């Protein structure tokens, strides 16, 4: 009697899988909600994303502990390398010299955290004041079949919004009473949802643009807080039944849902890239972002 033993070749992480680990690892570490977690949390999140999307994972690999250990080590290595790169770049962006352990004068560097806030608050959607970045929010609204109205003071940015499929565009510099125009475009009803990126400087007109029972999502304060009188939202929340929601960061489940929407609508949810900077020029990328001259995403290439 013959006894034949077949030994399975050890599992190796493919280049395609590694690239996806880096891509999702960057997203996890740049999330303010997730970046604070230590230990196994980011690794487990990355593992779950990979298993859910089955990026080059052998069949039945979840039942093979050796394969799972290999995948987990790869996830840990990717996150460790990314953390190291981020730490070096953040230190460099604030003028830190690793050789003599000194920080450059204040005028010689930008505050990476302030600029990151500006970048985060630049999203835009159904109705937006100042089109800082033409990005996914407009595309997501389009993917769901929503009628979109995009506002900006820049004709060039409005032209890009039209290219991306915006139903209507309004130049608010030429139309200071833009809330009236919004109501005209909606037959006097008002919009279901307003994405507010400026703050108190435009919030009153955003309230006037919303329909009865509508929603105003505040995702930014690009107009600042100085010399801007507060806006009464109590009356609007009662008499117009408006819902006000401040949004800073979403949950992991929402991130996964967003990824599914992008996969299901590849022709619509495509990132608009304005300019790509090498990792060594991240400081210049943030300065360019702060200038608000871009139309689309400003990318820092980390690998």
The pLDDT tens digits for 2-58 are: 555 444 556 677 888 888 888 888 777 766 555 455 556 778 888 887 777 666 666
What is the reported pTM?
0.54
Give the other-Cβ count within 10 Å of 189's Cβ.
13
Strand 273-278, strand 297-301: pairing? parallel
Kindly tell me if the per-residue pLDDT of 125 is higher than 50.
no
User: Residue 267, class by beta-carbon neighbours within 10 Å (0-12 exposed, 13-18 middle, 19+ buried)?
Assistant: exposed
Could you tell me the two tokens for 115? 């600029």
Of 93-107, 216-230, 288-302, which gets the smallest average pLDDT? 93-107
**pLDDT for residue 3:** 54
* Most confident of the ranges 69-73, 95-99, 250-254, 255-259: 69-73
Residue 245 CA: distances (Å) to CA of 9, 197, 248? 52, 12, 10
How far apart are the C-alpha atoms of 278 and 101, rounded to whole Å? 24
Kindly tell me if the per-residue pLDDT of 180 is higher than 90.
yes
Question: Phi/psi at 75 (nearest 5 deg)?
Answer: -60, -45
Query: SS3 string of the chain?
Result: CCCCCCCCCCCCCCHHHHHHHHHHHHHHHHCHHHHCCCCHHHHHHHHHHHHHHCCCCCCCHHHCHHHHHHHHHHHHHHHHHHHHHHHHHHHHHCCEECCCCEECCHHHCCCHHHHHHHHHCCCCCCCCCCCCCCCHHHHHHHHCCCCCEEEECCHHHHHHHHHCCCCEEEECCCCCCHHHHHHHHCCCCCEEEEEECCCHHHHHHHHHHEEEEEEEEECCCCCCCCCCCCCCCHHHHHHCCCEEEECCCCCHHHHHHHHHHHHHCCCCCCCCEEEEEEHHHHHHHHHHHHHCCCCCEEEEECC
Of 11-15, 102-106, 169-173, 233-237, which gets the smallest average pLDDT? 102-106
Under a CB-based contact definition with an 8 Å cutoff, are residues 192 and 126 in contact? yes
Domain layout of the chain by residue ranges: 15-102, 113-264
Question: Phi/psi at 102 (nearest 5 deg)?
Answer: -125, 160
Could you tell me the two tokens for 124? 């835009």
Kindly tell me if the per-residue pLDDT of 177 is higher than 90.
yes
> What average pLDDT does range 257-271 have in this prediction?
82
Could you tell me the two tokens for 125? 């959607």
* Most confident of the ranges 77-91, 166-180, 207-221, 285-299: 166-180
Under a CB-based contact definition with an 8 Å cutoff, are residues 126 and 195 in contact? yes
Question: Phi/psi at 193 (nearest 5 deg)?
Answer: -145, 135
How far apart are the C-alpha atoms of 128 and 152, rounded to whole Å? 8
Share of the chain above pLDDT 90, in %: 3
Average of per-residue pLDDT values in the chain:
74
Q: pLDDT tens across 71-91, in order?
A: 888 888 888 888 777 666 656
Of 133-142, 182-191, 202-211, which gets the smallest average pLDDT? 133-142
Could you tell me the two tokens for 4? 């034949």
At the top level of CATH, which class does the domain 113-264 belong to?
alpha beta
> What average pLDDT does range 273-295 have in this prediction?
85
């Amino acid at each position: 009697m013959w006894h034949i033993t077949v030994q399975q070749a050890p599992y190796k992480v493919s280049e395609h899988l590694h690239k996806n680990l880096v891509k999702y690892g960057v997203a996890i570490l740049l999330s303010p909600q997730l970046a604070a977690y230590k230990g196994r949390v980011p690794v487990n999140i990355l593992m779950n994303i990979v298993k859910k999307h089955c990026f080059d994972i052998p069949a039945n690999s979840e039942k093979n502990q050796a394969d799972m250990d290999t995948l987990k080590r790869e996830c840990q290595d990717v996150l460790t390398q990314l953390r190291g790169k981020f730490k070096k770049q953040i230190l460099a962006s604030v003028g830190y010299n690793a050789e003599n352990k000194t920080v450059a004068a204040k005028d010689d560097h930008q505050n990476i955290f302030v600029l990151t806030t500006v970048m985060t608050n630049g999203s835009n959607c159904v109705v937006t004041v100042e089109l800082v970045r033409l990005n996914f929010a407009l595309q997501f609204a389009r993917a769901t079949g929503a009628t979109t109205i995009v506002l900006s003071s820049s004709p060039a940015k409005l032209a890009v919004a039209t290219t991306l499929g915006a139903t209507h565009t309004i130049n608010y510099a030429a139309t200071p009473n833009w809330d009236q125009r919004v109501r005209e475009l909606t037959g006097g009803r008002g919009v279901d949802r307003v994405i507010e990126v400026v703050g108190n400087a435009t919030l009153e007109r955003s309230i006037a643009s919303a329909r009865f029972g509508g929603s105003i999502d505040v995702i930014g304060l690009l107009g600042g807080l100085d010399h801007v009188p507060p806006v009464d939202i109590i009356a609007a929340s009662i008499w117009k039944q408006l819902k006000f929601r401040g949004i800073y960061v979403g949950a992991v489940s929402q991130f996964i849902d967003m990824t599914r929407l992008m996969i299901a609508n590849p022709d619509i949810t495509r990132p608009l890239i304005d300019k790509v900077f090498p990792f060594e020029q991240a400081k210049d990328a943030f300065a360019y972002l702060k200038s608000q001259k871009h139309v689309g995403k400003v990318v820092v290439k980390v690998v």
